[in-house]
Amino acid sequence: MFSSLLIANRGEIACRVMRTARRMGMRIIAVYSEADTHAQHVKLADEAHLLGPAPAVQSYLDIEAVVAVAKATGAQAIHPGYGFLSENAAFAEACASAGVTFVGPSAESIRAMGSKIEAKRLIAAAGTPVVPGYHGDDQSDVRLLAEAREIGFPVLIKASAGGGGKGMRQVSDEKDFAAALAGARREAKSAFADDRMLLERYLQAPKHLEIQILADRRGHTLYLFERDCSVQRRHQKVIEEAPGPTVTETQRESMGRAAVQAAKAIDYVGAGTVEFIAEGEVFYFMEMNTRLQVEHPVTELITGLDLVEWQLRIAADESLNIEQDSLNRNGHAIEARIYAENPRRKFLPSTGKLVRVKFPDRVRTDSGIVEGDVVSMYYDPMLAKVIAHGRDREEARVRLIRALAEVELAGVEHNVSYLRGILNHAAFRGGDYTTGLLEQHHDELLIAHSNLGVICAVLALKELTSGSGVWESTDGFRLNLPRGYRQQLERNRKLVSVVVTDDVVAVGDAEHKVSDVTWNGSTLACLVDDQWIEARVVFDGKSIFVIRNGDTERLEVHEEDVDALAQDVSVADRIISPMPGQVISLAVRVGDEVAEGDVLLVIEAMKMEHNINAPRRGKISGIVCAVGERVEEGIELVTLEAP
């Protein structure tokens, strides 16, 4: 077994690999970018080495720099995690040339499956059905459009070298094809340095099922059952579970055999995942991921196996001493991915300093963040994964809902309450959901912010300002404050006026009866309209974060002389950036007339593209940004005047 291991990744996967490697007695070497100088994977390693600037292409994707660190530190093996260089054949070859073991398959296997086009050809030749589509070499826009017409709309554009939803677009109408293709090419080129595309028929009600495999160097290959990964937004997985709630034993065995057949066809070694799209009992091969998957914990919990340990053992040339017939499924496991994003704003990513971080200890949590860390614009927005295991699906589901209610995150927008909404939704509870679940039920899944957050924020601010237990007093005394306490807060960039008098809190025109208020400096509890409320309240400058049941509402203390942003946002003719990012394309010029919904420009943030659309008809009177420019949230981009 290896005595030293370099982990060529960051965040939660680096920390997760470290956990197993440390248990196995290895010296752990981390690498990091300038943006990750104080990251947890750096602090947890035995030693850490700087690769370069924040952009991944200058740090985590720099093969020469990573291999140089491995050679300088005497690392015997490199674990690539997932993303970054994990499916890069040139990196696997560079490791071999440097005499360092790559914890993964051979470069030849990576190449065989790395191109979705070549993979589909290979798998189809081996007898496994593939989704009808175009996987040809002619990549001209004219040919791709012609093939899309032949397949029929809706059609799915996919990056040949893609993954994680990057370089993928669903197109329902031919008129949108050219723009979608250009965006997919651009995103794929940025993420994978490969802009080749394939086309697939878009299945209307599919399940996304995947089979976990393990294979040693002697050709012994196992399938570790399936995972249902159909809960997706923007083609990225959000919730995964194992086993699949609608998968029959016949389908399980058929997909398992097909996955093993695919692995053997390319002499696969290590842990990998074969992904299928299914409608009923019929399934089609989609792709093979030649690496560890984000959702691997659910498989670990139902099989009792440590997949990272087996990756390392297989890489060290140990035999896989497990037989297919000896594998058993133990109960059910469900994983929820926590992202720094705002579901209420089309899942726009969010950046900032984490002023409060607390995860539940009753279930498994894989995370690479702690309080005080900064979520930057440079990397994937996933913050953590919370995974619950139960004797059956319902027990796992309920445990995960309760665990997510205990999550406390403040400093960035996040999707925890959205995840709880999914788990509580009837479509998910039934198990027979498809990849269209989130799109079909988006509005139902959003938990609306009531006045409770505002009430908690004002009461905590009032207690903090007064410095006394004024709510316990019965004589009307208020230290340094008038009997009626007034405060203005900003919620979603809109002003909210609050007045507190005796046992009534008025939020705008709505009055709420409040009593039994207690405040211990961090947690506020009270009765609001006979409903018992308890919330964590975190102050950070003028920001107040109210955390209840996993949800976080951010409010700002309003001051007249610092209201510039709110005023700017309210001006209809100034189009501002909704997030920090980089302008990667401009679709308009000064003088152009645009219709509501037209794309004005595209911003890249957290490895994904985001269109900035016209809010109404108008004429472009000014452009105050340029392609390649980095912009901050709230910065003006385009000026739009009446037509």
Structure confidence at residue 437 (pLDDT): 94
- Provide mean pLDDT across the span 398-408: 98
Do 222 and 349 belong to one domain?
Answer: yes
DSSP for 322-375?
--GGG----SEEEEEEEESEEGGGTTEE--EE-SEEE--SSSEEEE---TT-EE
Do 317 and 260 belong to one domain?
Answer: yes
CATH of the domain at 21: 3.40.50.20
466 has a pLDDT exceeding 80 = no
Q: Torsion over CA of 278, 284, 286 and 292, rounded to 10 degrees?
A: 70
Q: Which of 231-245, 257-271, 551-565 has the lowest mean pLDDT?
A: 551-565
Do 244 and 159 belong to one domain?
Answer: no
Dump pLDDT digits (tens) for 57-105: 999 999 999 999 999 999 999 999 999 999 999 999 999 999 999 999 9
Residue scoring higher pLDDT (205 or 183): 183
Dump pLDDT digits (tens) for 156-186: 999 988 766 788 899 999 999 999 999 999 8
Residue 490: inside a domain, yes or no? yes
Do 280 and 369 belong to one domain?
Answer: yes
Helix (H) or strand (E) holding 94: helix 89-97
CATH of the domain at 475: 3.30.700.40
Do 99 and 227 belong to one domain?
Answer: no
Residue 123: inside a domain, yes or no? no
d(CA 78, CA 312): 10
Exposure string of 175-212, with b = 16+ CB inside 10 Å and e = fewer, is eebeebbbbbbbbbebbbebbbbbbbbbbeebbbbbbb
Pairing of strands 636-641, 618-623: antiparallel
d(CA 364, CA 297): 9
Do 55 and 144 belong to one domain?
Answer: no
> How is residue 481 annotated by DSSP?
S
Do 366 and 464 belong to one domain?
Answer: no
Percent of the chain with pLDDT over 70: 95
Residue 636: inside a domain, yes or no? yes
Give the confidence band of 28 by pLDDT, cuts at 50, 70, 90: very high
Dump pLDDT digits (tens) for 253-274: 999 999 999 999 899 999 999 9
Structure confidence at residue 25 (pLDDT): 97
Indicate the residue among 532, 562, 592 that finishes a domain. Answer: 562
- Provide mean pLDDT across the span 611-618: 89
Structure confidence at residue 474 (pLDDT): 43
531 has a pLDDT exceeding 50 = yes
Structure confidence at residue 124 (pLDDT): 81
Do 411 and 275 belong to one domain?
Answer: yes
Give the confidence band of 483 by pLDDT, cuts at 50, 70, 90: low
Give the confidence band of 228 by pLDDT, cuts at 50, 70, 90: very high
Do 212 and 71 belong to one domain?
Answer: no
Q: Which of 434-438, 576-580, 604-608 has the lowest mean pLDDT?
A: 604-608
Q: Which of 8-22, 123-137, 369-383, 404-418 has the lowest mean pLDDT?
A: 123-137
Phi then psi for residue 172, to 5 deg, are -95, -20
Residue 114: inside a domain, yes or no? no
Structure confidence at residue 447 (pLDDT): 77
Pairing of strands 364-367, 341-342: unpaired
362 is catalytic: no
Do 399 and 514 belong to one domain?
Answer: no
Indicate the residue among 444, 466, 499 that finishes a domain. Answer: 444
Do 405 and 490 belong to one domain?
Answer: no
Structure confidence at residue 528 (pLDDT): 96
pTM comes to 0.84
360 has a pLDDT exceeding 70 = yes
Residue 121: inside a domain, yes or no? no
247 has a pLDDT exceeding 70 = yes
CATH of the domain at 328: 3.30.470.20
CATH of the domain at 606: 2.40.50.100
Domains: count for the chain: 5
478 has a pLDDT exceeding 60 = no
- Provide mean pLDDT across the span 579-604: 90
- Provide mean pLDDT across the span 403-414: 97
291, 313, 420, 491: the active-site residue: 291
Phi then psi for residue 476, to 5 deg, are 80, 5
Its sign, for the CA torsion 94, 96, 99, 103, is: positive
Do 429 and 484 belong to one domain?
Answer: no
190 has a pLDDT exceeding 90 = no
Residue 554: inside a domain, yes or no? yes
Residue 116: inside a domain, yes or no? no
Q: What is the mean pLDDT of the chain?
A: 90
Residue 108: inside a domain, yes or no? no
Indicate the residue among 524, 544, 562 that finishes a domain. Answer: 562
Give the confidence band of 567 by pLDDT, cuts at 50, 70, 90: very low
Q: Which domain holds residue 146?
A: 132-201
Structure confidence at residue 498 (pLDDT): 94
